[in-house]
Structure 1
Amino acid sequence: MRTLGILGLLGALALYRAQPIDCTAISLQAIIDTARDGATIAIAPGVCAENLIITKNLTLEGAGGGQTVLRGSKPGFPVVLVQSDTPITVTLKHLTLANAPKASDTPQHGKECALFYPELLCPSGLQVRGAAHAIAESVRIVRNPWVGVYVLDTAQVLVHSSEIIENGWGVYVSPDASVELRDSRVERSRENGLEIWGTASVQRTLIRSNGRSGVESVGTVGVFDSEIVQNRGSGVLLVGASRTELIANEIAQNGLWGVAAQLRTCGYLADNFRGSAVLDQNRIFGNRLGAVCLP
């Protein structure tokens, strides 16, 4: 890890408002740790090989266009961890969060990593914990082995105009947490595109070519004006006591059903649905087993 003398750090702090930080020469974590609450830190083009921990109100802004890359260097940890026991807001803009390195002794699934190995935190792109709020604006979150956007505890995340591509899970939300996706893409996840145990609102988002379901709803989920297409499993899978609203979406060319409950009559191994679903003005076509399988 880079070290920074006190004079060098003071000089960097004096400059970070006026010009972007060169994270290949200066520790970005050191800048974050000493920045004032509510500061904005601009980051120059380049690859920042650090795992970042943010525990205060802060904005990190890159150069956009894939030029500023935050790449994890510590195996088993997220590229960016936002955590606080009290509400804070962290905004990430025009950045790429990529390639959190996998630890050889972590289990094979992201959610198991957090539940059973919390000290590892999980090699996700963005992990938000505690009472923290995070905003990802025009961010690319790619090729992280567990979860692209991992929302735990009572955390809240807004993702807009962003891409979440080629991660283990695209977005995973635990029971008391929430996420809002707008005008984004969730594609080519190894597992589910979205797995929602808490609350999610999805608007004008493309959910495509994920390895299992496009959306697995276990909590409270609303999907509006979005495309859920070409996923290997069902476009939308309803599980447990989920409450799901699907309005004005295109749900097409998925490998199982367009929309299905986890029931034996739909081809699943157990009857595990006692929730509710509202479907209106959706275009559901070309799914291998059919359009809808609900009680």
Structure 2
Amino acid sequence: MTNRQIKSLTCIAVVMAAGLGVLAPSASAAGRRVHPGDSIQDAVNSARPGDIITVMPGTYYENVLITKRLTLRGWGAGTVIKPPVTAVTPTTPTTPTAPGTPVAPAPGASGAPVAPGASGRALACSQADTGICVMGTAEQPVVGVDIRSLTVSGFKRNGVWASYTDRLSVQRVTAENNGTWGIAQERSTRGLFRDNVARDNAESGLFIANTVEREGGATDTLGAVVRRNTLTGNRIGVTVRRVRNLAVYGNSVTGNCGGIFVVGDEGEPGAGDMTIRGNRIHENNKFCKGNSRLPDIQGVGIVLTGAEETVVRSNSIRGNVGASPLSGGILLFKSFVGATNTDNVIRDNVVRDNKPADLANQGTGTGNRFVNNRCGSSVPAGMC
């Protein structure tokens, strides 16, 4: 066999090996796996920026704090993160523990070590009974975190909470039975929230805001996307509060007290400049008692309050029925702090069987247009 033939056979062997997938993985495939009994937080702390952490099927009782770029992915519904289980402080038989005595945190609980350089605010997030915290700072937002294919369940505060992030991606995550929000983000840009399930959370299933610590003008999300999520059994399916420049589309919102809320105030710039389209918002007829900010909520499809330049189009909004001031299909409602709705466009929606009305335009805002909607009733009359 000639040298040329040997070289030719060698090349063929390499090509065949590549086609069969037997070549060694590249260095860019760096990652690590976490198994039941391991600590997710330990893996996060020791990861390098850009690493992939795969959490194998099982239930993990801990809070997770992320302050660097990485991917945290589970194994679908089989990967579940729940609140830490506390361990009773050992006592001697002659010294019984009084009721209410503090107990030590379990391994991986909120008192567990966190990543070097984590801010006090980031640590506080982890200690506040939230499942996964993604925390940057104003000076250095955390960029490119990807969370996917896992469940966060039963936390006293939030399932997933993010602050000072850019390009955060949360996909195929189930956030359920959490005491405030299912998946929430503030002070952040270019977030992607897609194909998630948020159910039975005490407040919003998905919540995007400028900040939760103070009032103020709306911030630019630089094109955040809330897409193809399933929101059910929450107080509100999706809330976008004091933000601008994002899209909410293709979501299924049903069985909540309210469907989608766009919330602004008198701050500048105003909230809005967003698109809400192609959503299915049906029978959000659960009853939620009012609070200091909102009246009772029941039978709410889409509410714009203090919003501007928002387009609501091509949504299916059916069977939202209630007796709240906010009840109905699509409602433009004057903000409780006096901000009006201005220059919003409501068009090409199917709005049927909502009560007290399919469409309602309240308050003194100007420039709002209702165009080509298929509906049966409106306040004032004549918009259908």
Q: Give the TM bin, normalised by the shorter chain.
A: 0.7 to 0.9
Work out whether 1:59 is the aligned partner of 2:71: yes
2-side partners of 1:137 and 1:181: how far apart?
10
1-side partners of 2:60 and 2:206: how far apart?
23
> Would the alpha carbon gap of residues 177 and 144 (structure 1) be closer, same or farther in structure 2, given more than 3 Å must change?
farther
Work out whether 1:128 is the aligned partner of 2:162: yes
Q: Map residues 239-250 of structure 1 onto 2, 5 A cutoff.
A: 239-250=305-316
1:282 equivalent in structure 2: 349
> Would the alpha carbon gap of residues 195 and 29 (structure 1) be closer, same or farther in structure 2, given more than 3 Å must change?
same
1-side partners of 2:154 and 2:200: how far apart?
10
> Would the alpha carbon gap of residues 37 and 19 (structure 1) be closer, same or farther in structure 2, given more than 3 Å must change?
closer
Q: Is the 8 A contact 1:188 1:210 kept in 2?
A: yes
TM-score (norm. length: structure 2): 0.61
2:250 equivalent in structure 1: 204
- Give 2:33's aligned amino acid: P
1-side partners of 2:282 and 2:46: how far apart?
45
2:331 equivalent in structure 1: 260
Select the residue among 183, 192, 195 that pairs with 1:161.
195
- Give 2:250's aligned amino acid: R
Q: Map residues 1-295 of structure 1 onto 2, 5 A cutoff.
A: 20-22=33-35, 24-64=36-76, 66-73=77-84, 74=110, 76-85=128-137, 86-87=140-141, 88-100=143-155, 102=156, 123-168=157-202, 169-175=204-210, 176=219, 178=221, 179-189=224-234, 191-197=235-241, 198-199=243-244, 200-211=246-257, 213-218=258-263, 219-220=271-272, 221-231=274-284, 232-255=298-321, 256-263=327-334, 272-294=339-361
Query: Shift of residue 161 of structure 1?
Result: 1.5
2-side partners of 1:195 and 1:18: how far apart?
35
Q: Is the 8 A contact 2:332 2:341 kept in 1?
A: no
Q: Specify every segment of 5 or more residues in structure 1 that has no aligned partner in the other structure, as ranges.
A: 1-15, 103-122
Please say which structure displays the higher CA radius of gyration: 2
SS in 1 for 2:34: coil
Q: Is the 8 A contact 2:331 2:361 kept in 1?
A: yes
| Structure 1 ranges of 4+ moved more than 3 A | 16-20, 268-272
Q: RCO higher in 1 or 2 (8 Å CA, sep ≥ 6)?
A: 1
> Would the alpha carbon gap of residues 70 and 253 (structure 1) be closer, same or farther in structure 2, given more than 3 Å must change?
same
1-side partners of 2:176 and 2:341: how far apart?
35
Q: Percent identity?
A: 22
1:118-139: CA deviation from partner (whole Å, max 9, x where unpaired): xxxxx10111101343211211
Q: Is the 8 A contact 1:17 1:42 kept in 2?
A: no
> Would the alpha carbon gap of residues 257 and 95 (structure 1) be closer, same or farther in structure 2, given more than 3 Å must change?
same
